Structures are given as C-alpha cells and as structure tokens.
Copies of this chain bind each other. A is one copy, B any other.
C-alpha cells in the first residue's frame, strides 16, 4: 500500500545478513569452542562497556555480539552435562527466528491464526500421549509456572469460592509432594496463598521415589490436625536423581481422598514418546494435570513448556476474569482465543519450534533419540560400575547419573571434598561442564544424558578427565 520506502533499510538488511553469517560461523565453531568461557566477571567488565547511554553503530554492535557469542556457555556441546537440557536443535533455532520475525501474540486467534492452530494441535497431541481423551492445555512460561497453574486448578476444585473470595475464611489447605520434588511447588504454595508450610514434603525411598506409606501417614496426620489435603504432586523425573514417583499407588490414594493428582513431568514427561520407557509414567492418564517441558528432553531452546489438564474446561474456569472485553470482545470465538485459557496476556509463540522439530523428526525420530539417550545412560552407568574409583550414589532410573569419587587413599570423610574439588577443577578448565548435588550428605557429580549429539566417545573423555583430575587431587592429599 505504501511502496515508497522499505521498512527495513538496505544497511539494516545488510547488517542482518552479517549476523546471519556470524550465526553460521558460530555453529561451525561450536565443536571446537570451550564449553565455558574462562573469563571472570571482572574480565568481562573491563573488556566490555555494558552501560547504555550513547548510540552505537552497526560495527560497535557487531563487536558486542561477538563478545556475547564467545562468552556464552556452549550449551550445544555434548560436553555440556550441566543442566536438564543440552544440545542444539536446528528446527528449534529456526522456530525461534520465525517467532521473532513475525512477532505474533497468542491471546487471540486474530493475532496469531496459524500459531493458534499449531498450539491447539500440539496440545491435543500431548494430551493424547498422556492419556487425556478430552483434555486441554496451554503453553506456559516454564515448568514452575505449569506447576503453579496445576495447584491453582486444584485449589479451585476444593474451594471454588476462593477465586472470588480468597482464602481468608477457608480451611487450611495442604498439598503433598516428595522431598525430591522441584522447589517450584514450594514457590507455588507461597504464591497461591496457602503458604510454604502447607507444602508437605514426603520422604523418599533410597531410589528417590515418594514413599506412599508416608504419604498416607501425612495425609492422615494433616486431617487429624484439621487441615484439608487438596493436592498431590508426583514427579516424573526428579531434578537430582531422575527418579519417577509411583504413579499408580499415588493415584489410588488421591482417588480415595478425592485429591487433585498432578504429575510434574517437566524433565521426564518426554519419556512418553518411547514405547520402551513410557512405563516409567504408567498410569499418567489417571492424573488431573501434567507438566511437560519440551525444552528439556526434546532438545528445544528455552522456553517450551505446557500444562495439560484432563478436564478441558478447567483452564477457562480458573483464568476467566472480567475486564478483558477490550481484547476478547466478550467471546472466545469457539475456543480459538487462547488468551482466555492463560495467565499471560501478551504471549510469544513458543509452539512453532516444537511443531517444526516434531514434524521433522516424527514420532519415530523422537522415540529413537530418547531410546538412544537411555542406552547412553546405561553405558555411563556401566563405566561407573566397572570402575574402582566411581561409586553410584543413587540407582540410575533414567538419564541422571549421580556418582561420587571414592578412594582408599583418602579418608571416607574426604570423598566429598575429592568429588567437589574434581568437579570444580574440571569445570574451570572450560572443556566440560557438569553439575554436582548433595545426596544424603554425600557430594556427587550429577551427570545428565540429554544431548542428542552425545556419543560414547564423549562419555569416555568425560570419565577419563574426571579420573585424571581426581588422581592428581588424591596425590596432593594422600594420607595413607
């Protein structure tokens, strides 16, 4: 309609092309680059002008971008084992640039027509996989947010007046999760006004599974104290051990006591894509809600999380408020205005990256990749079990491998130091990044197997590096 002037100037287009080339170079170099920059924050501060005042030209900006790319953690590398995600997804990256270039928003169908249809398709697919025949859901700002929404739905079920009147005259509601559950449940308890004290943490067995006898005991105890249990959050894939709570047993208890049954599959939900491993969450269809982060085991860039609900009406019921007329104009166009189902107003399109990746791999491609991760975890486990220096601290149930470095050359009381110091020196070399955790006061290295580009050869390097560093530390500290 107005062809006189290009919206994007020639020099701007040239700059975008330059950065596109930078991206390609960056991808080509990812294999060779350190996982972690060795620069300290003081290094950064002295080399980079972070402050924002005066304008800069494209050349200045290019330098800043190069510095950012160089200094960022190389999460694409197979040597990056630090978080519950690792790797680079081509379709994920492409999905993100499509989201960025179009900048549509998910509140109304009008403002994101194809994005709305894509999100609905994914939600339908994921609901079906969980076993919700007539479920619904929405993309959310992360697994923490999904767990919050599940708890809000449960609160609404036990006390439907709370939406309008609040909790001031309510009985004391309490929720149950395992002691190994993610901290977002505690934050959710705080946010929704029941208080962190009302998130009762159930002890786990040694494998990291919620002890259902203790769950029963705690429910009884809460009842005897005059509290009103309303929610149980099982975890499918705990953060540290990768353990899966016993779904069927927990479900039975929930049904007996009429409690909302939520499954936090932020990490482990994706095992549902594998016929071989989905039995870890057998019984998922009995739950009321399910959290699933595709930016973890499905390899996509942050954030790509959904909350799924068995009852398709609940999200609208809890999210619908007045004063939205300016946006939704009093109707939701046959369920096509997804903003009505969301806590967010403006919402970016997180669905297209998942849709493209899933379209590309197909169900079969994801299944193969996830099965392969489990095989690699088995391989890593075997190395540890064969080794005299490494000791599993928790049985391996999925893709988390927690082990300690032990040696007769040091006192048992020094094994924590040995493990921690080994991990510290390893990470400080910048070539490998892995996290640690405390299990029953034992410091262990938490190896996460989640990168689709991971090979046995990487794991060999990993264990050899650990071994050689730990030997050096042992030598320095030898007592006998």
Contact = CB atoms under 8 A, between A and B. Distances in A.
A416 interface: no
Interface in A50-93: 50-58, 60-61, 64-65, 67-69, 71-73, 75-79, 82-83, 85, 88, 90-93
A95 to B, nearest CB: 8
A23 B97 contact: yes
Interface string A11-43: 011011101100110111011100011010100
Interface in A166-183: 166-168, 170-173, 179, 181-183
Interface in A88-104: 88, 90-94, 96-104
Interface stretch (A186-194, A215-223, A282-290, A382-390): A186-194
A278 to B, nearest CB: 17
Contact of A55 (B17, B23, B75, B361): B361
Contacts of A442: none
A93 to B, nearest CB: 5
Given A1-B461, A68-B102, A78-B7, A52 B168 contact: no
A219 B145 CA distance: 33
Nearest to A354: B52
Contacts of A343: 144-145, 187, 191
B2 A457 contact: yes
Interface stretch (A203-211, A248-256, A320-328): A320-328
A325 B23 contact: no
Nearest to A120: B50
Nearest to A432: B1
Contacts of A359: 52, 55-56, 60-61, 64
Contacts of A186: 321-323
A49 to B, nearest CB: 9
A301 B98 CA distance: 12
A301 B348 contact: yes
A195 B143 contact: no
A355 B163 CA distance: 39
A264 to B, nearest CB: 12
A6 B51 CA distance: 37
Nearest to A144: B345
A361 B348 CA distance: 24
Contact of A197 (B3, B55, B164): B164
B17 A195 contact: no
Given A73-B104, A97-B23, A168 B166 contact: no
A198 interface: yes
B96 A183 contact: no
A142 interface: yes
Contacts of A168: 167-168, 170-173, 194-195
Contact of A166 (B85, B193, B239): B193
Interface string A96-124: 11111111110001111111011001100
Nearest to A355: B52
Contact of A96 (B3, B100, B110, B191): B100
9 contacts: A6-B31, A7-B31, A45-B117, A53-B363, A141-B145, A144-B343, A152-B191, A191-B343, A303-B347
The 7 closest A-B pairs by CB, nearest first: A193-B193, A166-B195, A55-B362, A141-B141, A96-B100, A72-B102, A20-B20
Given A182-B345, A303-B348, 13 more contacts: A13-B27, A15-B94, A41-B113, A68-B114, A72-B102, A83-B346, A97-B100, A141-B141, A183-B323, A183-B345, A190-B321, A196-B321, A325-B437
